[in-house]
Amino acid sequence: MSAQDQIREKVETNDVVLFMKGSKAMPQCGFSSRVAGVLNYMGVDYLDVDVLADAEIRQGIKDFSDWPTIPQLYVKGEFVGGCDIVTEMTLSGELDTLFEQKGVGFNKEAADKIREANA
């Protein structure tokens, strides 16, 4: 199975996927840590894919999304963005809205606490 096929399969069969450096339990870069931290704190159930474990996946995800950086967040098959976009969406409440529209479970109270801490 090609890297593109593996990526497509993960994105299509999981509600939320984070392609990142490291794992949700042990991120290997600050940007991946920030996005995983947001998702973990908000109680989102997601698949983490360590791009450091496979060079073909690492390059393949950049080609798949036409986005040059890692991490990359997908929700219900849709590319959401990287660290800056996810951070902005979290602080504006747009990420809550996206999760609600897509039927993805998350802790709204935790999301509100993130916004309060960053106000």
Was 29 annotated as part of a binding site? yes
- Residue 38: its pLDDT value, please? 97
40 to 34, 85, 89, 105, 109: CA distances (angstroms): 10, 17, 16, 12, 13
Domains of the chain: 3-117 (3.40.30.10)
pLDDT of residue 26: 96
CB 80 within 8 A of CB 94: no
Q: Return averaged pLDDT per consecutive 10 residues of the chain, 119 residues in all.
A: 95 98 97 98 98 96 96 98 97 98 97 94
pTM: 0.96
